[in-house]
Structure 1
Amino acid sequence: MTNAAIIILAGTESHSDTGRLVNGLEAAKEFADDPEADLELIFDGAGTQWIPELEDEDHDYHELYQSVSDDAAACDFCAGAFGVDEAIDDAGVVTVDDNDGHPSIRSLVGDDYEVITF
């Protein structure tokens, strides 16, 4: 079994940020499609801003996001810091706060997850 934690850190400001997001979602989809894999998809930092955008059905990457959104979570602290906490709540995306309001990377490593950042 493969354990993968894909962490989206890229913001929404540039073409390169969009590229990092799409690469992260494609990697997440590859793991999600593998019945032998366990996926954690975490939007952290500026990456939390993507969730409201990707929830829009007209967004170019909405379908790709939807294919992995059941595995998605967001940093609780960063959702508030970037002003998207209500939108993340409305989307039904779980927030994680097990390390002073942030996701615990140490716990993921301790649980044998490969941590991959985009």
Structure 2
Amino acid sequence: MTKAAVMVLAGTEGHANLGRLVNALETAKEFAEAEDDEVELIFDGAGTQWIPKLEDEEADYYELYQAVSEQASACDYCAGAFGVEDAVADAGVVTLDDHDGHPSVRSLVNDGYEVITF
């Protein structure tokens, strides 16, 4: 069994950041589809801005996001800092504030997760 934490740090501006997002979603989906694997998809920093965009049914990667949205969470502090706190809450995405308002990467590592950042 593999445990992976896929972290989206890339913001919403630029083609390169879109590529990072898509790679993160595809990676999370691959782990989610594996029968014995566990995956967490964490939107952190500027990456929190993707959640309202991906919740739009007209978004290019809406279906890909929906395939892994149950595994999604977001940094509580960063959702507020990047102005998407309400959109994250409306989407039903759990916010994490384990370490000074942010997700605890140490806890993920301690729990045996491989942390992959995009």
TM-score by length of 2: 0.99
- Aligned pair count reads 118
3-state SS of 1:31 partner: helix
Q: After TM superposition, where is structure 1 displaced by more than 2 Å over at least 4 residues in a row? A: none
| 1:35 counterpart residue number | 35
Partner of 1:95: 95
In structure 1, what is the Cα distance between the partners aligned to 2:14 and 2:49? 13
Q: Which residue of 1 aligns with 2:49?
A: 49
2:24 aligned partner, one-letter code: G
Tell me the SS of whatever aligns to 1:41: strand
Verify: 1:19 aligned to 2:19, yes or no: yes
- Superposed displacement of residue 113, structure 1: 0.3
* Identity, % of aligned positions: 70
Unaligned 5+ segments in structure 1 are none
TM-score by length of 1: 0.99
Q: 1:116 is matched with which residue?
A: 116
Question: Which residue of structure 2 aligns with residue 67 of structure 1?
Answer: 67
Q: What's the CA shift for 1:35?
A: 1.3
Query: How much has 1:95 moved relative to structure 2?
Result: 0.2
Q: CA RMSD for the aligned pairs?
A: 0.3
- Give the corresponding residue for 1:2: 2
Name structure 2 gaps, 5 residues minimum: none
Partner amino acid for 2:26?
E
